[in-house]
């Protein structure tokens, strides 16, 4: 039978043992040294992958984050020869992700692409009046670019100049205040909704840019020479996050170090990043596990064999999983059952395992608390099957345990039992 009640109620009772930090999910499936930038878009998280040199002339590819923990390719376009991925930012006002390309053999880049969720297009092969934001020779992860929520414009700060991208193209802006030089164009840039301004970190300094009035001010000292990691706003804790630091508006605090390219996923309410592999930040647990425990009691064929597939405990995959009890005598009166519970230590005020010898079942032990009993399908064919609705993704599920044990009722009142299975909901490696 379909065990929908288990999927609905199981996680309300089980307890989790979790820890806060970054946990690995999956690889993006691109060349190991290929630059990958992760951004939050209206359609969810997007990863943009590009070539790292002329040696690996890959396509410019967009990947969409799927909340179970993997990336799905959604669209590619060919690279222009001799270019590499430079800057990536989501322009929420126009609903496109902006990608800038840099020529390998030149300081200047003059190619800007946009991804609208379904296709790539060239936004700006040549820029206004020939004005081009100079990117320089720094590594691709270091170039500061960000979207301002107030003006709904994209800004780049480089070589002591501030550039703006609107529906027409790029233009250099005249700004007030003391503009940061951003030596070697290295820094990380983000919008701060607490102050409705933009924040730039570069070489132990923190700058603020008011895009409404085109004004720069030195804001504060930063605890690190920060320029390699993304700076993002984490709404779940109302803080700015970069690398191994968080900023609450007045002070910096240390957190677990994570990947260099990071964005906030509004579906799972967690940060997701990429640094050769995919990582998720939050109260997480290790990977899922299915562990046998206890003892069983055999039939004439030996012990019934309980098979719990990974789909039953791998959070977020969805769909159906089939739990099977094999090695059952093929006789009409062999009826398979599945005991499902939330404990393997206590039940009904007593301790587990519980000896069933007083009931005439010598050598048989109940290993799990039988909070549910479910009749299986297919006992006549030497196995029993239970169709299980796999859990949807929810961080609260991770690390929670449930326990199962297979049982077979035989002709003339005998039983046989499998060992127990300790099933922990988790994520895949």
Question: Which residue spans within 367-409 are E strands per DSSP?
Answer: 372-375, 383-389, 401-409
Global pTM? 0.61
Say how far apart CA 333 and CA 328 lie, in whole Å: 11
Q: What are phi and psi of 251, to 5 degrees?
A: -135, 155
Say how far apart CA 377 and CA 381 lie, in whole Å: 9
Say how far apart CA 379 and CA 377 lie, in whole Å: 6
CA 359, distance to chain mean position in Å, is: 50
CB-based contact 85:35 (threshold 8 Å): yes
CA 186, distance to chain mean position in Å, is: 27
pLDDT of residue 408: 92
Q: What is the pLDDT of residues 148-173, one digit of tens each?
A: 999 999 998 876 778 888 877 778 88
Q: How many percent of the chain have pLDDT more than 90?
A: 20
pLDDT of residue 148: 95
Pair type for strands 401-409 and 350-351: unpaired
- The CATH architecture of the domain made up of 289-424 is Sandwich (2.60)
Q: ω before 353 within 30° of 0 (cis)?
A: yes
CATH 2.60.40 in the chain, residue ranges: 289-424
Q: What is the pLDDT of residues 86-139, one digit of tens each?
A: 778 999 888 888 887 766 655 555 577 888 888 888 776 543 333 444 443 333
DSSP 86: E
Q: Extract the residue ranges of the chain whose pLDDT is less than 50.
A: 1-18, 31-33, 126-142, 184, 285, 317-318, 392-393, 429
CB-based contact 322:309 (threshold 8 Å): yes
Say how far apart CA 161 and CA 133 lie, in whole Å: 8
CB-based contact 302:417 (threshold 8 Å): no
CATH 2.120.10.80 in the chain, residue ranges: 19-284
CATH number listed for the domain at residues 19-284 = 2.120.10.80
pLDDT of residue 3: 46
Please enumerate in sequence order all residues whose Cβ is within 8 A of that of 24, keeping only pairs 6 or more positions apart, or say none. Answer: 277, 278, 279, 429
């Amino acid at each position: 039978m379909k065990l929908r009640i288990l999927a609905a109620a199981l996680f309300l009772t089980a307890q989790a043992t979790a820890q806060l930090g970054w946990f690995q999910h999956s690889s993006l499936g691109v060349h190991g040294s290929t630059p990958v930038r992760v951004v939050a878009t209206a359609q969810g998280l997007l990863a943009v992958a590009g070539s790292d040199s002329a040696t690996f002339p890959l396509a410019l590819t967009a990947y969409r984050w799927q909340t179970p923990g993997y990336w799905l390719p959604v669209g590619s376009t060919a690279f222009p020869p001799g270019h590499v991925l430079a800057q990536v930012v989501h322009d929420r006002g126009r609903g496109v992700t902006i990608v800038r390309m840099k020529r390998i053999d030149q300081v200047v880049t003059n190619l800007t692409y946009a991804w609208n969720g379904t296709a790539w297009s060239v936004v700006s092969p040549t820029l206004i009046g020939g004005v081009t934001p100079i990117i320089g020779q720094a590594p691709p992860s270091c170039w500061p670019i960000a979207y301002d929520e107030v003006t709904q414009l994209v800004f780049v700060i480089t070589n002591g100049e501030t550039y703006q991208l609107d529906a027409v193209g790029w233009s250099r802006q005249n700004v007030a205040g003391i503009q940061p030089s951003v030596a070697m164009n290295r820094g990380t840039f983000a919008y701060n909704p607490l102050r409705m301004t933009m924040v730039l970190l570069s070489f132990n300094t923190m700058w603020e840019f008011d895009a409404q009035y085109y004004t720069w001010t030195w804001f504060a000292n930063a605890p690190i020479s920060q320029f390699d990691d993304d700076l993002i706003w984490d709404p779940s804790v109302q803080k700015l996050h970069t690398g191994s630091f968080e900023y609450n508006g007045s002070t910096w605090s240390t957190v677990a170090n994570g990947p260099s390219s990071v964005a906030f996923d509004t579906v799972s309410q967690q940060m997701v990043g990429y640094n050769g592999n995919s990582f998720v930040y939050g109260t997480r647990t290790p990977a899922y596990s299915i562990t046998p425990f206890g003892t069983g009691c055999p039939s004439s064929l030996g012990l019934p064999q309980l098979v719990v597939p990974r789909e039953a405990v791998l959070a977020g995959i969805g769909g159906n999983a089939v739990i099977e009890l094999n090695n059952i005598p093929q006789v009409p009166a062999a009826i398979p059952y599945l005991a499902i519970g939330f404990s393997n230590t206590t039940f009904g005020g007593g301790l587990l395992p519980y000896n069933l010898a007083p009931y005439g079942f010598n050598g048989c032990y109940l290993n799990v608390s039988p909070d549910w009993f479910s009749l299986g399908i297919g006992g006549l064919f030497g196995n029993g099957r239970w169709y299980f609705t796999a859990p949807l993704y929810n961080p609260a599920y991770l690390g929670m345990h449930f326990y199962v044990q297979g049982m077979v009722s035989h002709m003339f009142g005998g039983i046989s039992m499998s060992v127990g299975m300790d099933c922990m909901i988790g994520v895949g490696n």
